[in-house]
């Protein structure tokens, strides 16, 4: 068992505590650069000096423009991406520094263009919507099943996808988000089969699933289950730097050169070598030690779920759920997740997401069983202090609205607009995207009819303490609408 406890590494061995550099070319090049006294006459402007703005720029190494065999350069990035593609069984892998957001923009543009129809699950993240604005596609929305016991999305039935494809046989791709923000999964092999019957690709935003397939108790990786493009955030479930993302692509239904063109167009021309090397390092770690690192954390999370249940607190659980995703439901116990989050913050514990009805502390294999046990104990204590009246289950705003597309997201996004009081906005067409965040699933997308139901759902999310994001007026007193 490798040593990976917090604080166990000394300064000297923090560059490669797990001995990964021999199988990770970008990590190796980063360490080599760190160990070399260079005189850089290129960007970044800090020139590696930490006596000006401080340690904040330490280790920030750029990508050299030419091809250099042992430096972070385009040829070495290609080598690292090829190793990753081989590990996941892809025809192409691209490392990105603009998160799954940038990768999603590329994925949408790679599969469809202006005026093309795409079938999109309404659990999508806002970055997929932005990708649709960039590409000018027309979305055909498809809703997953909502579990009445939790009010949360469960899975997209393949029969529903088959019906939608039969109604729109000219669709150019199917875009889904798996697992959902709450860790629930659809049956990807079935969805892939239905999609491929139309000769089109299945694109999976798997931002939260980079670790899938590396332990027998985890779901298979979506690529292994038949997806054609899989977008992942290496910085979410893997120990990579913030913004790190990688995309895996199979070429059967995807034009690979077109994918490359779109991917390159979404990335800065001044990529951070450090972010890229951290993807390479996480890949090597997963490959060499994934199963042994993930196992104890799955076990600790399972014990945590049981402890929560024993304390009368509901958690999401089941066969098609990421065992590392801990979603704590508070309606039945009457506690307010915002108050619990505030208590945890006071104890310097930050959670990934909290609203009135739910808390999601994010667990990865960088956690230790001890830290997970401590977290669960603190959550149980906090919930016990906030027990209250049972609340009926309400379906979250993002999952309850039936969208009516009037004009394409792109047309509405670039259109002139008027600002009107919310009450006068009903019946008009939204000029903006309105998302409770997290999870960042739009309730209203640009180009959709504003209904009273959508507004009520948004007001209720706002009133229960959820941040309303990406909107000109987050109080929702006014909305931006298209001119009549």
Ligand X SMILES: Cc1ncc(COP(=O)(O)O)c(C=O)c1O
Instruction: Classify the C-alpha dihedral 197-201-207-212 as positive or negative.
Output: positive
CB of 309 to ligand X, least distance (A): 26
Out of 28, 33, 154, 205, the residue judged to bind ligand X by CB under 6 A: 205
Q: Which of 177, 222, 290, 447 binds ligand X (CB under 6 A)?
A: 177
CA distance 283 to 211: 10
Positions in 422-441 near ligand X (CB under 6 A): 440
User: 126-155 mask for ligand X (x: CB under 6 A)?
Assistant: -x----------------------------
Instruction: Name which of 31 and 359 has its Cβ closer to ligand X.
Output: 359
Considering only residues 73, 147, 164, 245, which one is a binding residue for ligand X as defined by CB under 6 A? 245
3-state class (DSSP) for residue 461: helix
Minimum CB separation of residue 440 from ligand X in Å reads 6
Q: How far is CA 64 from the centre of its chain?
A: 29
Q: Work out whether 253 is an interface residue with ligand X (CB under 6 A).
A: no
Near ligand X in 87-106, by CB under 6 A: 99-101, 104
Instruction: Report in angstroms how near the CB of residue 322 gets to ligand X at its nearest.
Output: 12
Minimum CB separation of residue 206 from ligand X in Å reads: 8
Q: How far is the CB of 181 from ligand X (least distance, A)?
A: 6
Residue 122 as a binder of ligand X (CB under 6 A): the answer is no
Residues whose CB is less than 8 angstroms from the CB of residue 152 and which lie 6 or more positions away in sequence, other chains included? 146, 180, 182, 184, 316, 327, 396, 399
| Contact status: 267 vs ligand X (CB under 6 A) | no
**Count of residues near ligand X by CB under 6 A:** 13
The length of the chain in residues reads 484
**Which tokens hold the place of 107?**
């994925």
Residue nearest to ligand X according to CB distances in the complex: 99
Nearer to ligand X among residue 73 and residue 101 (C-beta): 101
Q: Judged by CB under 6 A, does residue 164 bind ligand X?
A: no
Answer for the pair 57, 46: CB distance below 8 angstroms, yes or no: yes
Nearer to ligand X, 154 or 205 (CB): 205
Please list the residues that pair with 96 across neighbouring strands: 245
Q: Name, in order, each residue with C-beta under 8 angstroms of 93's C-beta and a sequence gap of 6 or more.
A: 81, 82, 84, 85, 246, 247, 248, 249
Q: Is 226 in the site for ligand X (CB under 6 A)?
A: no
Q: Are 162 and 172 in contact (CB under 8 A)?
A: no
Q: Which two tokens stand for residue 70?
A: 């042992």
Nearer to ligand X, 104 or 272 (CB): 104
Nearest to 124 by CA among 399, 327, 322, 412: 399
Give the C-alpha separation, 1 to 334, whole Å: 42
Classified as helix, coil or strand, 122 is: coil
Least distance to ligand X, CB of residue 53, Å: 25
In the complex, the residues that contact ligand X under the rule CB under 6 A are 99-101, 104, 125, 127, 177, 181, 205, 207, 233, 245, 440
């Amino acid at each position: 068992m490798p040593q990976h406890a917090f604080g166990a590494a000394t300064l000297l061995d923090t560059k490669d505590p797990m001995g990964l550099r021999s199988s990770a070319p970008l990590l190796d090049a980063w360490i080599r650069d760190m160990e070399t006294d260079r005189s850089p006459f290129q960007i970044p402007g800090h020139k590696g000096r930490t006596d000006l703005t401080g340690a904040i720029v330490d280790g920030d190494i750029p990508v050299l423009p030419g091809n250099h065999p042992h430096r972070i350069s385009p040829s070495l990035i290609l080598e690292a991406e090829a190793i990753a593609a081989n590990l996941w069984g892809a025809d192409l892998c691209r490392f990105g520094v603009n998160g799954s957001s940038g990768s999603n923009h590329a994925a949408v543009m790679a599969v469809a263009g202006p005026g093309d129809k795409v079938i999109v699950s309404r659990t999508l993240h806002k970055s997929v919507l932005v990708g649709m604005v960039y590409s000018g596609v027309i979305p055909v929305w498809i809703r997953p099943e909502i579990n009445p016991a939790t009010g949360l999305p469960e899975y997209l039935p393949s029969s529903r996808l088959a019906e939608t494809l039969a109604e729109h046989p000219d669709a150019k791709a199917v875009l889904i988000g798996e697992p959902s923000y709450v860790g629930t999964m659809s049956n990807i092999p079935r969805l892939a089969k239905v999609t491929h019957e139309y000769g089109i690709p299945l694109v999976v935003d798997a931002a939260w699933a980079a670790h899938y397939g590396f332990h027998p108790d985890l779901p298979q990786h979506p690529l292994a289950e038949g997806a054609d493009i899989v977008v992942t955030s290496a910085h979410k479930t893997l120990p990579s730097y913030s913004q790190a993302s990688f995309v895996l692509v199979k070429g059967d239904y995807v034009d690979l050169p077109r994918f490359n063109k779109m991917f390159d167009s979404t990335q800065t021309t001044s990529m951070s070598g450090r972010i890229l090397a951290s993807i390479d390092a996480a890949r090597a770690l997963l490959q060499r030690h994934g199963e042994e690192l993930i196992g104890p954390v799955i076990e600790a999370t399972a014990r945590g779920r049981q402890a929560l249940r024993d304390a009368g607190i509901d958690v999401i659980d089941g066969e098609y759920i990421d065992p590392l995703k801990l979603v704590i439901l508070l309606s039945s116990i009457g506690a307010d997740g915002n108050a619990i989050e505030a208590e945890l913050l006071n104890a310097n514990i930050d959670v990934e997401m909290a609203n009135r009805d739910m808390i999601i502390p994010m667990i990865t294999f960088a956690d230790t069983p001890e830290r997970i046990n401590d977290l669960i104990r603190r959550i149980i204590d906090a919930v016990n202090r906030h027990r209250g009246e049972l609340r009926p289950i309400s379906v979250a705003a993002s999952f309850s609205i039936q969208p009516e597309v009037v004009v394409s997201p792109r047309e509405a996004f670039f259109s002139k607009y008027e600002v009107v009081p919310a009450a006068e906005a009903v019946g008009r067409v939204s000029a903006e995207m309105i998302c409770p965040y997290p999870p960042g699933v739009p309730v209203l997308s640009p180009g959709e009819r504003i209904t009273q139901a959508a507004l009520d759902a948004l007001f209720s999310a706002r009133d229960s303490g959820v941040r309303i994001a990406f909107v000109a007026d987050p109080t929702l007193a006014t909305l931006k609408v298209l001119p009549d």
